[in-house]
């Protein structure tokens, strides 16, 4: 059983998948940083200095001082963080589209199989053979 597991883990598909997951995680971190540190400041500048990450609708404000007894944290819908996440998703999707498009260009075009005789030609050959 251990040998079967080793064979399974060492197949190319599992290793390729593991590398893809690691690369996707790293790419996600890079894109999250790109969006948070480069894209969103520009977007905020064009929207009057607004920081999307801090946009929220407070359902109930915080009660007390953080770290003291009886403190109740603020309950809020953080739609600004959600907007940042949507922008992340769009950028990740676009980058993945570009990567797949570039990969597909590097693949050699498949050669078409030589066209064989059509069904009608084969039937004609059979008919002629039977007549002889």
The 10s digit of each residue's pLDDT in 57-90 is 999 988 888 888 888 888 999 898 888 888 878 8
Domain that holds residue 75: 2-109
127 assigned to some structural domain: no
The pLDDT value recorded for residue 77 is: 92
pLDDT in tens, 27-56: 888 888 887 788 878 877 887 777 777 888
131 assigned to some structural domain: no
Distance CA 82, CA 53 (A): 8
pLDDT score of 12 more than 70? no
59 assigned to some structural domain: yes
Q: How many domains are there within the chain?
A: 1
Residue 6 — pLDDT band, cuts 50, 70, 90? confident
pLDDT score of 14 more than 70? yes
The pLDDT value recorded for residue 35 is: 78
Q: What CATH number has the domain bearing residue 56?
A: 1.10.1200.120
The pLDDT value recorded for residue 27 is: 82
42 assigned to some structural domain: yes
Model pTM above 0.85:
no
23 assigned to some structural domain: yes
62 assigned to some structural domain: yes
88 assigned to some structural domain: yes
122 assigned to some structural domain: no
Distance CA 65, CA 122 (A): 89
Distance CA 6, CA 14 (A): 11
The pLDDT value recorded for residue 113 is: 64
Element (H, E) at 59: strand 57-60
């Amino acid at each position: 059983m251990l040998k079967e597991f080793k064979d399974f883990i060492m197949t190319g598909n599992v290793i390729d998948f593991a590398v893809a997951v690691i690369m996707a995680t790293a790419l996600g971190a890079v894109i999250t940083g790109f969006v948070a540190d480069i894209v969103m400041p520009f977007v905020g500048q064009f929207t009057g200095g607004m920081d999307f990450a801090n946009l929220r609708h407070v359902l109930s404000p915080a009660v007390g001082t953080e770290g003291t007894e009886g403190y109740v944290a603020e309950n809020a819908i953080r739609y600004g963080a959600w907007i940042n996440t949507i922008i992340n998703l769009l950028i990740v999707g676009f980058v993945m589209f570009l990567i797949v498009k570039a990969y597909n260009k590097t693949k050699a075009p498949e050669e078409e199989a030589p066209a064989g005789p059509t069904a009608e030609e084969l039937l004609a050959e059979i008919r002629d053979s039977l007549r002889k």
